Amino acid sequence: MCAKTNIGLSAQVAAHFAGIDYDRLSERTRHATRRALLDALGVSLAASGLAAEALPYRKLALDQGKGPARILGTDKSTTPLAAALANGALAHAMDFGDTFDPGAAHPNAALVPALLALADSEPGIDGGHFLAAMAVGSDLACRLSLSPARAYEEGGWYPPALVGLIASAAACAKLIGLDADGIRDAMGLAMLSASFPGAIKYDPVSPLRGVREAFAARGAVEAALLARAGAQAFAEPLEGRGGFFAVYGGGGPTDALTADLGSRFLGDEVSFKPWPSCRGTHPYIEAALELRARCDWRDIERVEAEIGPVQEMLIRPQPAKAAPGNAIQAKFSIPFATAHALVHGEVSLNSFDDGARSEEAVLGLAQRVVERSNPAWGRAHAASGSLTLILHSGERLHHAVPHAAGHPGNPLPDSALIDKFILCAGHAALPLEASQSSAAAAGILDLGPRDSISSLLRVKATPSKLSVNS
């Protein structure tokens, strides 16, 4: 592999990746990374049993034959590339994984399945190497989401999987021991599979919104393995002419890419979801649950949801949002999620299925959830919201949520993440008993630098009615 210039942003980022190890991570970052790993594995397990849209990716992976890398939620294994594809399809399928509220990123959704596929394939990779690669990868995904000169969406791109691909490729290269040049090559090679069009977001019926990380995870693993085999890419994959930011971000990057690099890990600042729906619906769910204790939902004449430009897509057009045609549409609907929370007092894994979407009480109330626009709200209010209930009596009840539950300023405790993991693991294609998943969660949160990654979740599961070959 020929030497490259050691100046420029790509070189700086790659050198940073190569230089970080477990001992250089603060205990805060180590624990935050373990929490993110627990959450990512849990929501993927749930999707393995509940997300029909992920089944084609599992089938294709199984068709590639046996290999060392597991397919989560099953007792099957396959090649690293195929496992990354299948597990990547699970990562966001339930819309229950973590999110970076300041930027359009789900930094661990592609990252964890990609790293896991390689760790399964190379048993010498231990907990220390895994956590270091995951910490820098998650951080970079967050930074990439904040750094374009213009929003990725303005160029027609869909940013979560786009930034996840590049960051995961760099992390995968680090995990398998590549130097800074190899890490840089992996980022450049990953760009060749980086087509995540905005149609993923805007098509109202496509299931790709739930499974898009399949392509990012596979692309990341492939790029890293190609770099290790000697494939070369670009000297400046991020900032170069025709590089990542020129193509996808309209120029740049901004200073957010390298500000406090190495001393602040933005992956520490992700939000964990207490409810399996778009993060933008969460403040309204939280407000609805709070207000529900102060009135009977049958007494509500109208619900006003305060929104900014970021939330418009979650409430417009109101008639369609009030009667979602599939689970994805329901998960991205403030009217439906709010009404469901008001009627049932909870939002759970089955709150968006066919039965839930046909409930007359919920649909009737959802029709009366309308917007109250606040144009001053920007990206900083992506996890903010408020509801005002107008009762038939004329009484008005109001509740505002500055930061929805799970935000670093309003965090979920470890106990809540463990409960979430147990719930999700119980819905896997091969479900875990509560005692098994509790033990697995404890092991993940206690993952040490010399612990085996390939042994995580290697427990005997209880067969379920869902065939892993379906």
Share of the chain above pLDDT 90, in %: 91
Provide mean pLDDT across the span 362-380.
Answer: 94
Provide mean pLDDT across the span 405-423.
Answer: 96
Q: Torsion angle of alpha carbons 267, 269, 273, 277, nearest 10°?
A: -80
Sign of CA dihedral 173, 179, 183, 185: negative
**Phi, psi (deg, nearest 5) at residue 99:** -150, 155
Provide mean pLDDT across the span 227-255.
Answer: 96
Pick one of 3.30.70.270, 1.20.120.1200, 1.10.10.60, 1.10.4100.10 as the CATH number of 9-269. 1.10.4100.10
Tokens of 88: 């990547």
Q: Is 80 exceeded by the pLDDT of residue 118? A: yes
CB 81, CB 61: distance < 8 Å: no
Strand partners, 100: 105
| pLDDT tens, position by position, 383-404 | 899 999 999 999 999 999 999 9
Tell me how far apart the alpha carbons of residues 327 and 340 are, in angstroms, rounded to a whole number: 13
Q: What is the pLDDT of residue 468?
A: 38
Per DSSP, the residues of 300-325 read EEEEEEEE-GGGGGGTSSHHHHHS-S
> What's the pLDDT band for 464 if we cut at 50, 70, 90?
low
Share of the chain above pLDDT 70, in %: 96
> What's the pLDDT band for 378 if we cut at 50, 70, 90?
confident
Q: What is the pLDDT of residue 4?
A: 64
Residue 392, CA atoms < 13 Å, CB-side half-sphere: 6
**Phi, psi (deg, nearest 5) at residue 387:** -125, 145
> What's the pLDDT band for 466 if we cut at 50, 70, 90?
very low
Please give the distance of CA 155 from its chain centroid, rounded to a whole number.
22
| Contact partners, residue 298, CB within 8 Å, separation at least 6 | none
Residue from 196, 222, 202, 190 nearest 83 by CA: 222
| pLDDT tens, position by position, 143-180 | 999 999 999 999 999 999 999 999 999 999 999 999 99
Q: Is 60 exceeded by the pLDDT of residue 112? A: yes
CB 113, CB 217: distance < 8 Å: yes
Q: Is 50 exceeded by the pLDDT of residue 469? A: no
Q: What is the pLDDT of residue 194?
A: 77
Provide mean pLDDT across the span 199-219.
Answer: 93
CB 401, CB 408: distance < 8 Å: no
Average pLDDT over the chain, rounded to an integer: 95
**Phi, psi (deg, nearest 5) at residue 465:** -75, -20
| pLDDT tens, position by position, 57-92 | 999 999 999 999 999 999 999 999 999 999 999 999
CATH number of 279-401: 3.30.1330.120
Amino acid identity, residue 222?
E
Q: What is the pLDDT of residue 459?
A: 63
> What's the pLDDT band for 2 if we cut at 50, 70, 90?
very low
Q: What is the pLDDT of residue 467?
A: 41
Q: Is 50 exceeded by the pLDDT of residue 336? A: yes
| Contact partners, residue 307, CB within 8 Å, separation at least 6 | 314, 315, 334, 371, 372, 373, 374, 377, 385
Q: Is 90 exceeded by the pLDDT of residue 14? A: yes
Residue from 383, 391, 386 nearest 374 by CA: 386
> What's the pLDDT band for 460 if we cut at 50, 70, 90?
low
pTM of the model: 0.95
> What's the pLDDT band for 5 if we cut at 50, 70, 90?
low
Per DSSP, the residues of 196-226 read -BTHHHH-SS-THHHHTHHHHHHHHHHHHHH
Q: What is the pLDDT of residue 462?
A: 67
Where do the domains of the chain lie?
9-269, 279-401
Provide mean pLDDT across the span 198-217.
Answer: 93
| Strand bridging mode 369-373 / 300-307 | parallel
Please give the distance of CA 334 from its chain centroid, rounded to a whole number.
20
Q: Is 80 exceeded by the pLDDT of residue 288? A: yes
> What's the pLDDT band for 1 if we cut at 50, 70, 90?
very low
> CA separation (Å) from 146 to 2, 143, 393?
32, 5, 46
Tell me how far apart the alpha carbons of residues 376 and 342 are, in angstroms, rounded to a whole number: 27
